[in-house]
Structure 1
Amino acid sequence: MKRFGSANWDGTLRDGAGSVSTESGALENHPFTYFSRYGDKPGTNPEELVGAAHAACFTMSFVRMLGTLNLAPQHLDARSEVTIDKDGEGFSITAVHLSLVARVPGIDEETFQSVAHKAKAFCPVSKLMNVEITFEARLDNG
């Protein structure tokens, strides 16, 4: 199976602009610029797209693993916070923090934590990351 995303760009780094698209059409010519990446201007940036992909991948991995235990989540909120820092003359992704708040009827805390940590490890996007991924998972069945 192969999936693709694409990007285009016109102009210089600071004065130019680009757009990103996905095969599915979920994003179509969505704008990005130097200032949407390194500043606070409207538009997307690669790091938030990686974060969204990571959160979605982890969520599906977690739900699949719950299913093997005949459990189903009532609600999940996953977030992948991707940090980019100056690295010499360029930039590098230096940290990723993945978090989950979940409502899963019928699961105990120990099983929940075990499944969540396994889902993080087996998520294909987690495997792609070349940095340590810090992680926290909170069961909210109250």
Structure 2
Amino acid sequence: MKRTAKALWQGDLKSGHGHLTTQSGVLNETPYSFNTRFADGIGSNPEELLAAAHAGCFTMAIVYALSQQGHVPGEMHTTAAVTLDMIQGGISHIDLELNATAIQGLSSEEFEKQAFSAKENCVISKALAGITIGLTVNYQI
């Protein structure tokens, strides 16, 4: 499996702009610029896209693990917050927060164990080896 995305940029860093397009077309010439990355401009940015990818991958990883054990997962809601440290010049950490509804026959301790395993084993987490990834689990029984 191979997925692609394209970025086009025109101009200098501060006054220039660009757009992002994904193979699926979900992003189709989505704008990005200095302001969308470092201020409050309208458009996306690499850190936001990384957060979306990580939230999606992690959520699918825990659903897969639970399904393999015969559990029917309820609603899973994950928020990923990517922190860009401008002084260090990179992503300092990512915080995942998982909110989930009760799953019949699954204790909160077992659910939390599965969540932490999914965090370690999702493809995006593995790709981000070396970055601190935190996880908060809220399991509603």
Q: TM-score, normalised by structure 1?
A: 0.94
Quote the Cα distance in structure 1 between the aligned partners of 2:35 and 2:132: 27
Supply the distance in 1 between the matched residues of 2:85 and 2:123 (Cα, whole angstroms).
24
Q: Distance in 2 between matches of 1:56 and 1:72?
A: 18
Match of 1:92 in 2: 90
- SS of the counterpart of 2:86? strand
Tell me the residue number matched to 1:29.
29
One-letter amino acid matched to 1:12: D
Paired position in structure 2 for 1:111: 110
RMSD: 1.1
Is this contact kept in 2: 1:71–1:104, CA < 8 A?
no
CA distance in structure 1 between the partners assigned to 2:75 and 2:94 by the alignment:
23
TM-score by length of 2: 0.94
Quote the residue 2:51 is aligned against. 51
How many angstroms does 1:74 deviate by?
1.7
Aligned pairs, how many? 139
Task: Please list the CA deviations of residues 63-89 of structure 1 after superposition, one character each: whole Å capped at 9, or x if unmatched.
Answer: 00000111122211101100001136x
**CA distance in 2: counterparts of 1:47 and 1:119, whole angstroms:** 21
Contact 1:10–1:17 (8 Å) recurs in 2: yes
Quote the offset at 1:4 in angstroms: 1.1
Q: Which runs of 4+ in 1 moved over 2 A?
A: none
Give per-residue Cα distances to partners, 1:90-127, cap 9 Å, x unaligned: x2111110110001321211110111011101001011
- 1:71-90 to structure 2, matched below 5 A, reads 71-87=71-87
Aligned pairs for 1:60-71 (under 5 A) are 60-71=60-71
Task: Give me the whole-angstrom Cα distance separating, in 2, the residues matched to 1:77 and 1:55.
Answer: 9
Q: Which runs of 5 or more structure 1 residues have no equivalent in the other structure? A: none
Query: Quick check: 97-106 or 44-53, which moved more?
Result: 97-106
Please say which of residues 115-124 and 128-137 is displaced more in the overlay. Answer: 128-137
Q: Aligned AA for 1:62?
A: I
Q: Residue 102 of structure 1 aligns to which amino acid in structure 2? A: A
**Shift in Å at residue 35 of structure 1?**
0.6
Amino acid at match of 2:98: L
Distance 2:98 2:49 in 1: 18
